[in-house]
Structure 1
């Protein structure tokens, strides 16, 4: 018996060695960097339309691009849940190649007229990875994820024709404002259909609709209208230079761009790896996209008038000033809730949920598309600066910004607690 046990033990040892030789070699991740994600995040950023309201469809593009990269990487790595169903993938497939292929596949679908330019960037980007079966498999994963995500969002109603009908003008009710009123531009040309677009993370826009605006006779509204009349006038004598700078600084910044710029800066500061970089940018992008949808939905429900209309026509407790002009041209849609504070707050509170809300060890510098910079010590300070910027720009009432910012915080809380969660060990 003892001799048989020895022979049996020897056979088991041989079998173990044979099986070990059949196992795939572990993938060396030491040379992986978030470069691919950061590069294609930047390419996505560069495709923002310059037309009025261009950030609205761009919010969808940014979410599509970043979610595709996240899902492609996590179809291979399985560190975080994917937004869509993970595609079948070899564990040896290159997640970097997958991210590049996923982003490229989404962007050429969105911008077929830029196909040659994107193809050149794609070839250059892939050339940084050594040719191998691993690279080829990664490309296949990325393309499959992009196709799946594209099909998943195909019926999200973003391509539907707008059906908005302007309400009957009366006190408190929105109507078109200069300079757009002279051009006949109404929200039906300002992507009004976005109020019905399917959300990315939150259950629906209706469930996150803001509470109604205050009554015109309320102390709150009278105070807010007097404030914007004083601080937001183009010729204001009481607005400080820093307040003017805040209004002009935030005007060309949109939430999708903020999600990319701040997300990339945080990823770089914290030295995040490929998976974590893709995840935070995807979460920030989804928060921005959902906030845009929810904001347009709420605006169309309440149809609240802009300060320029209330001030020129007069409102209970505030005398009319027919010649009043805002510091910055008022956008061609309804006032409440303030869009920039709601959308920026959604992005910034998403990052606060991920990185903590404590003051930054080193101030975070934000640069707008015009090259102007402002420095901030915390996420909350940034949100407050956005709210201020819309008041002194003459576009929004303070309460609209405060309500919008709180809604953005609620959106961020939902997004970070329900989407792209860590996989159980």
Structure 2
């Protein structure tokens, strides 16, 4: 028998060691998406305690989900990251990295809740045994969160509002009840948001909606009369299902929609850790960009709300000074419909990822108040939001239709330009 040389013995030892190390693909197949879903839910529950907190919440949810995505894909590089990938070993735990990234981002956003977040963090990490893999995952997550925080530090979300409300006139927005009746005139309501730096699209102006119809047009008069009939608090002719739609969508924010629907689809499709993180990051980015575009369009056109035109009257519209909408009207401009545009951006993002055909089985959404509504497709959800804002008495149908279309365009851009699959 020939004796092996020292060089050969060394080579065999290296090959044996390599054979014992699991390939990233093998490890990835066993990595659960539970960490992403858990911290996604945590981010959804922490809404900024300010008037109109759902607006900055869209940014916070995007920050948290993109941080998790970048941390995971720095270790499992299946998709392009938002920022440059952070230094990471393939042996680092991407699940732990996601936990650390989300925790650190949320602590930066909400230092007043650090004790609570630290407790959740310790509980989440306790599910993973102490090891170099865990330690490296923590380091990657922290680095991804810090990098994204620095990349978005100058996005102008914290600038002082510069928007100035226009002088009252026919067709022009002015503050409405209940805000005006309570002596509240937030004419600068989150006014800075029209200038916040976008996430994926190049600029808000690029996706600004076209002008609203003239308030003397047949389309506008038709829309006013529809809101007058369906959206009145008393004497309306809406059906029970239309009433239910208005009440159901009122408390749902686009950020919560991105999380709830994203979680449902990740579960239905059996997505792994990497694909779950990407889907939620894209959904939250689309919603955040749609929020910016919507404020930009609203401030560009300053279009009046149904309550104003119905009470005052205009060409072709008979005044009814006692008319009251079914639901309170938000304190900003009417066109385009915000909830519709943002929801459409989120839902069409998921339609791009998971398919636009009808669901194999209905998807049931629930509000925090316990209300449920069942849907057979993403498009049915979008159509339901359009209807809900009309029967709520706060938006015209055309505003919802235009918002939905431009939300879809935002989704198309986000899904085709951001977090793309890496070339092999």
Q: Could you state the TM-score of these two structures normalised by the residue count of structure 2?
A: 0.96
TM-superposed CA distance for 1:18, in Å, is: 3.9
Tell me the residue number matched to 1:20. Answer: 15
Tell me the residue number matched to 2:75. Answer: 76
Q: Secondary structure at the match of 2:181?
A: helix
TM-superposed CA distance for 1:221, in Å, is: 0.6
Answer yes or no: is the 8 Å Cα contact 1:163–1:188 preserved in 2. no
| Mapped partners of 1:171, 1:327: distance in 2 | 23
Answer yes or no: is the 8 Å Cα contact 1:224–1:398 preserved in 2. yes
TM-superposed CA distance for 1:30, in Å, is: 4.7
Change (3 A) 1:211 1:187: farther
Farther off after superposition, 129-138 or 46-55: 46-55
Tell me the residue number matched to 2:252. Answer: 253
Q: Secondary structure at the match of 2:343?
A: helix
| Mapped partners of 1:410, 1:166: distance in 2 | 28
For structure 1, list consecutive stretches of 5 or more residues without a partner in the other structure. Answer: 1-6
Q: 1:322-366: CA deviations, max 9, x gaps?
A: 000000000000000000000000000000000000000110001
Tell me the residue number matched to 2:272. Answer: 273
- Following TM superposition, the consecutive aligned residue runs of length 4 or more in structure 1 with deviations greater than 3 angstroms are 7-16, 21-31, 49-52, 183-189
TM-superposed CA distance for 1:26, in Å, is: 3.2
| Mapped partners of 1:183, 1:347: distance in 2 | 34
Tell me the residue number matched to 2:132. Answer: 133
Change (3 A) 1:153 1:422: same
For structure 2, list consecutive stretches of 5 or more residues without a partner in the other structure. Answer: none
TM-superposed CA distance for 1:190, in Å, is: 1.7
Q: Secondary structure at the match of 1:180?
A: coil
Mapping of residues 398-409 of structure 1, within 5 Å: 398-409=397-408
Q: 1:120-146: CA deviations, max 9, x gaps?
A: 000000000111000000000000000
TM-superposed CA distance for 1:186, in Å, is: 3.9
| Mapped partners of 1:81, 1:37: distance in 2 | 18
Q: 1:304-326: CA deviations, max 9, x gaps?
A: 00000000000111100000000
| Mapped partners of 1:280, 1:167: distance in 2 | 40
Mapping of residues 112-131 of structure 1, within 5 Å: 112-131=111-130
| Mapped partners of 2:37, 2:392: distance in 1 | 33
Q: Secondary structure at the match of 1:181?
A: coil
| Mapped partners of 2:185, 2:203: distance in 1 | 25
| Mapped partners of 1:25, 1:391: distance in 2 | 56
| Mapped partners of 2:178, 2:71: distance in 1 | 45
TM-superposed CA distance for 1:182, in Å, is: 2.6
TM-superposed CA distance for 1:16, in Å, is: 3.8
Mapping of residues 11-410 of structure 1, within 5 Å: 14=9, 16-21=11-16, 23=18, 24-26=21-23, 28-49=27-48, 51-410=50-409
Aligned length: 420
TM-superposed CA distance for 1:19, in Å, is: 3.5
